[in-house]
Chain A
Amino acid sequence: MKLLITLFLSLPFLSGVLYANSPFLLTKLQSVYPLVEINTKKIPKKYIAPLLIKVKETTKELGIKSEGFSPRPLAIMISHVSVSNALVLKVELMLAEEVKRLDDAEEVFALTYQKTDIFEVEDISLLEEDLFESVEFLLELFKEQYIEDNE
């Protein structure tokens, strides 16, 4: 079972290492609405506010407007994955917005950036540390790509 969990967790990690960048384009991103959603009872909601600050710090650093009510959420979504008795967390950073299809100009809702980090919390006393590390890791990838795409 340990081998199975390790393998399960390694796959997204390996693809993340191989492709630190993503196929999405982060050019000309004027504004976002920072959002943190915790969709699991295994993670206390008290982490929402400090994680939101992390997202805002990143957007501020990149010069992306995050005040006001942009309809383009830049969201951290936290959920858990059931793998045996292990506490496995799935942390996603995603950007979503309404876009126009190229061929029929229909306005549709679409994910325009997504990166996922899945990890096992081996020691519950390190939950906060692991969670913040994961969010910082995803924000760092986002930042790197944003800078690269706007060069």
Chain B
Amino acid sequence: MKLIKFLLLLSITTTTVFAQNYKDFAKEMDYEIRYDIALEKAKAQKKDIMFVLVTNYCPWCRKFEKRALKADAVSTIIQEKYIPLIINREEHNFPKKFDSARIPVTYFVNYKNEQIEEKVLGYKGKNDFLEVLKKN
């Protein structure tokens, strides 16, 4: 009986982990997953928002998370300069102006007026994304 309970629990846990993998990324890398909370935090800390819009099914998004955003050099700059935010486009829980047909897309958003300072479309490797971060 214990074995059955364990297998059932394992199966539920696995499903949850796979169903929410961008949320796992957010938790691991200390990203916000709600726009309103990220904005509130950004205003309090006087930092712009780095908003990464992904989808649950997009391979380029997973690669971007793993190869660029998780890299130490990239992550250090992000945490220093921005309030990082990652949202699944399919959940439609962000202001419409950030919607994009192409995914992933990264926005650098001014915390004072919510204007998009820069939009980076598509996948970027670690070095290319470092250049983007240094430029901003």
Chain A residues at the B interface, C-beta cutoff of 8 Å: 30-31, 33, 35, 68-73, 75, 96, 98, 107, 109
Contact = CB atoms under 8 A, between A and B. Distances in A.
A71 B56 contact: yes
B91 A69 contact: yes
A83 to B, nearest CB: 28
Interface in B76-116: 88, 90-91
Secondary structure of the B contact surface, majority rule: helix
20 contacts: A30-B15, A31-B15, A35-B57, A68-B19, A69-B19, A69-B88, A70-B19, A71-B18, A71-B19, A71-B56, A71-B57, A71-B62, A72-B18, A72-B57, A73-B57, A75-B57, A96-B57, A96-B59, A109-B59, A109-B62
Interface residues of B, number: 14
Contacts of B57: 33, 35, 70-73, 75, 96
B120 to A, nearest CB: 21
Contacts of A75: 57
A54 to B, nearest CB: 18
A30 B15 CA distance: 8
A33 B56 contact: yes
Nearest to A33: B57
Given A30-B15, A31-B15, A98 B62 contact: yes
A70 B18 contact: yes
By Cβ-Cβ distance, the 4 closest A-B pairs, closest first, are A73-B57, A69-B56, A109-B59, A33-B57
